[in-house]
Each structure stands twice: as C-alpha cells, then as structure tokens.
Amino acid sequence: MEQLLNKVDNHIWSGRTDHLENRTSFRYHQVVEVIAMEDLSPSSRTCAIIGFESEEGVRRNKGQLGAAKAPNALRSELAKLPWKFSVNERLVDVGNIQCVGTGLETAQQQLGDTIANVLEKKMTPIILGGGHETAYGHYLGVRKWIGEEASLGVINIDAHFDLRSYDEQPSSGTMFKQILEHDNMSSYFVVGIQRYGNTQELFDTADRLGVKYEYEENMHIGNMNKLTSDLEQFINQHDYVFLTLCTDVLNAAFAPGVSAPSPFGLDPSVVRSIIRTVTAHKKTLSFDISEVNPILDENNRTVKLGAYLTNEAITTFLGGEIHDASS
C-alpha cells in the first residue's frame, strides 16, 4: 500500500539555540533529522517520530474534535527540550499520515505499514496522535512486524477501556475489542481505569475478554512498587509489548486539553513512572501518545505535558541520559 507521509515543515522544529557546536547545549530542534521514509537506512539507537493526523475515530465516538492538530503541536514543544545524548543516538522525523475525510481504516493501515517499516529498520517508533484510534494503527504495525505467532502484550494508560462494540463501525472507543476478538496471541493491560468513567457493560466485557486492569484510585506514588511489579509480570509473559497513552487519563487540572477530561485522573508523576518502567524493558517496541487536543487546551498546558511525557519515552528507549557528548 502506498504510504502517504506528509513531510513536516522544518519551522515546526525550532527553538532557542544556546550554542551551534557544543552538543551539551543542544535541544531537540538541533538534532532532529526530518527525512523521507525511502531515505532511511537501518539504524539502531534511533527513535523515529511518526505523526497521525486523525480525529475521525473521535468523531465516530461522539467526542470533541481537535486531536488531529496534536502531532505538530507536540513537535513544537518537543523542539524546545534539551537533548541529552551523544552522536550515537539519533532522532528522525518521517512525517505525518493524514486521515482524509472518513477514511479511518485506510489511514490506520498506512500507519501500521509505516510502523512496520520503521521497526524493520531497527528503529523505535514514537507515534504522535491523533485520537486514540491511533492505537489500532499502532497495533497493526507491530503485529505485522512480529508475525502472527508471537505473543503481544498491549499496555494502555487510560481512564477508559475502549472496548465498545464496533458492529456499526470502528471508532476511538473500539480498538482493544477489535484486537482481542481477532488476535488470540494478544492480551491487554489497562492502567488508570475510572470506576465511574466506564459503564458496567464495559467492565463485563473486560472480564469476558480477560482484560487485566488497575483502577485510578489505586495508582499513586505510595503504591508504585506493586504497580511496577504487575507491569513487569505482564511484560514477562509476552514476546513483545507496545505502550499507548491516552492523555485523558491525566487529572484535568494538569491536562484540560482532551476530549474527555478526568477530574479524578492521574498525577503526571505517576504516568511518567509507568512510561519509564515499560519503555525501559527490552521487549517494548514502541510508544504512542493520543487524545491531546490543542483546540481545547488552556495556555498550552496539555500539549507541553504531552511533549514532556513523550520525552520520557524517548529518553528511556535510548538508554537514559548520556552526558558525554564525545563518546
């Protein structure tokens, strides 16, 4: 399938420049390589940013629109952050896949093909959504690359199960039901579930499908040892894992710019800890952030927080902060 990747304008990757040559002073915008997929050569210790400009799934799920503008907004905030790595670690940006009209399924397949190609080139995909329908395209790419026989663990940081019926059409609320009902080599662990953010039918569906979940009310800094142990146990049961973050899991005081704000959502430090735990594991292949909505945001708070959380994933995938720029 032809991959319709729109190249990102270089001006999106801009920010303060403290020094033109001293790498210890560099920021993201000074190291990112905006490059076409066909020009990518295999490269380990490289994170590849892929944007998914889609909110068709949110529209179908009767949510508030605006998430399609998130990929470039997140890039603009990432651009300003310090880059803590040597010349051996790279960041590339292969562009945006745009959902044209109502063609969600086509866009998800294009995202999946792009992710599979990035994995084939030994790079780590970092996907900037888009509505949470991003996660299904993410899944398609990972499954394509690992093959049908490998076991896949899907870890979702989310206030909602996203296990709604897709009998009429898929949406941003159906992805994980689609996966579980068509792929018996995949299993699902969702952390951050709101007890009163999901109907009893959704809890019943989760139990029927064997979903592992943790309530938001149990997820606080004092309980992180148990949560970390549960996550590691889940990861160890699978051949491969991918991580998806729906930003509506965050407390609305920190993340007002989402389609479905959560008054009792998670503290950002808890989400940061989960991202670090999961992306530090060698079985974890990729990360996506979804449901950031710049149109609904207040003073760019959600976009900035989303960029910081994405930075946590990139930093951990690349092996932590490396301060020796000469290595």
Mean pLDDT of all residues in 232-238? 97
Range of the domain at 253: 5-317
Indicate if the pLDDT at residue 60 is higher than 80.
yes
Residue 252 in tokens: 């609305």
Look at residue 143 in the predicted model and tell me its pLDDT. 98
Query: Are residues 126 and 49 in contact, defined by beta-carbon separation less than 8 angstroms?
Result: yes
DSSP string, 113-177: HHHHHHHHTT-EEEEEESSTTHHHHHHHHHHHHH-SSS-EEEEEE-SS------SS---TT-HHH
Residue 326 covered by a domain: no
How many residues does this entry show for the chain? 327
Residue 157 covered by a domain: yes
Residue 40 covered by a domain: yes
How far is Cα 316 from Cα 222, in angstroms, rounded to an integer?
22
Residue 272 covered by a domain: yes
Look at residue 53 in the predicted model and tell me its pLDDT. 97
- Count of domains for the chain: 1
Look at residue 323 in the predicted model and tell me its pLDDT. 33
Half-sphere exposure of 87 (CA within 13 A, CB side): 6
Look at residue 319 in the predicted model and tell me its pLDDT. 87
Indicate if the pLDDT at residue 327 is higher than 80.
no
Instruction: Name, in order, each residue with C-beta under 8 angstroms of 15's C-beta and a sequence gap of 6 or more.
Output: 27, 28, 29, 79, 80
Residue 327 covered by a domain: no
pLDDT tens-digit map of 260-297: 998 999 999 999 999 999 999 999 999 999 999 999 99
- How sure is the predictor about 321, in pLDDT bands with cuts at 50, 70 and 90? very low
Indicate if the pLDDT at residue 324 is higher than 60.
no
Indicate if the pLDDT at residue 3 is higher than 80.
no
Residue 187 covered by a domain: yes
CATH assignment of the domain containing 42 = 3.40.800.10
Look at residue 221 in the predicted model and tell me its pLDDT. 87
Look at residue 320 in the predicted model and tell me its pLDDT. 57
pLDDT tens-digit map of 36-59: 999 999 999 999 999 999 999 999
Residue 325 covered by a domain: no
Mean pLDDT of all residues in 225-251? 97
Residue 135 covered by a domain: yes
In percent, how much of the chain has pLDDT > 70?
Answer: 97
